[in-house]
Amino acid sequence: MLYELRIYHVVPGKMRQLNDRFQNLTLALFKKHRIDAVGFWTQSVGPNSNALTYMVRWENDADRVAAWQALADDPEWIAGRDASEAGGQLFTHWENQLLSPTAYSAMR
C-alpha cells in the first residue's frame, strides 16, 4: 500500500471555491478513475490557514500514475476545472509526498 499526501496552497479568499470544486466535481471523477481519497483537511492551527491537505491510498505506483493521467485527460475534468478557475486560479502551487506505511502503522 502507498499513500499520497497532497497539499494545495490556496489563493487567499478562494478556499470556498476549491472546496466546492472537490465536493461537486472532483470527488465523482476520483471515483470514476479509482482514486481512493481517504481524507481531506484544512488547518485550524498551524502556519498556513490557506491550505487544503488530502490523502489518497494506492495499491502501487503504477496505479497512481495511470489514474492521475486518466483524470488529467478526462474532458469532464478539463471543462470543470476551467470553469471553476474562470475568475482566476484557486491555488498557487501544490506539494505531494509518497508515503509507505511502517509494519506497525494502523494504515497499511
CATH number at residue 52: 3.30.70.100
Question: Is pLDDT at 33 greater than 90 in this prediction?
Answer: yes
Within a domain: 107: no
The whole domain housing 46 covers 2-99
Q: What is the mean pLDDT of the chain?
A: 95
Q: How many domains are there within the chain?
A: 1
Q: Are 58 and 100 in contact (CB under 8 A)?
A: no
Residue 39, judged by CB atoms within 10 A of its CB (0-12, 13-18, 19+), counts as exposed
Percentage helix, strand, coil for the chain under 3-state DSSP, each rounded to 5: 40, 30, 30
Q: What is the pLDDT of residue 16?
A: 96
Whether the per-residue pLDDT at 25 is higher than 90: the answer is yes
